[in-house]
Structure 1
Amino acid sequence: MNTKELKYFQKLGAKIKQLREEKGIDQKSFAFDCEIGRTQLYMIENGKTNPRLLTLIKISNGLEISINKLLEID
């Protein structure tokens, strides 16, 4: 992963974490509801992995936002 990609994944992860926390959902429950592993969610929220599209779709559904809105990073 190059520096630009790393920064994008860090921003995306921070956005997912912020939106999840705004809904008052803990990481373990959210991961379960999205049918992904808690460790995987942790890695995504901390920008340490490149999530697959299907995983991002599950997360956007769990957050009740469109995939487009989820991927919009300032």
Structure 2
Amino acid sequence: MNRKEEKYFQKLGARIKQLREEREIDQKSFAFDCEIGRTQLYMIEKGRTNPRLLTLMKIADGLEISIAELLKN
């Protein structure tokens, strides 16, 4: 991953975490509801991984927003 990609994934992860916390959902419950691993969600929120599109779709659905809204800067 190059520096530009790292920054993008960190911003995306921070956004996911912020939206999840605004809904007062803990990480473990949210991961379970989205049918993804808790460790995977942790890595996404920390910007340490490149999430697959299907995973982002599950997260957006769990947050009850569109994928476009999730990816918004």
Normalised TM-score (structure 2) = 0.99
The separation in 2 between residues aligned to 1:24 and 1:56, in whole angstroms, is 19
User: Structure 1 residue 64: deviation in Å?
Assistant: 0.4
Tell me which stretches of 4 or more aligned residues in structure 1 moved more than 3 Å.
none
Identity of aligned residues (%): 81
Matches within 5 A, 1:29-68: 29-68=29-68
User: Structure 1 residue 70: deviation in Å?
Assistant: 0.4
Unaligned runs of 5+ in 1: none
Normalised TM-score (structure 1) = 0.98
Residue 23 (str. 1) matches residue 7 (str. 2): no
Unaligned runs of 5+ in 2: none
The one-letter amino acid of 1:60's match is A
* CA RMSD after TM alignment: 0.3
The separation in 2 between residues aligned to 1:41 and 1:23, in whole angstroms, is 16
Between Structure 1 and Structure 2, how many residues are aligned? 73
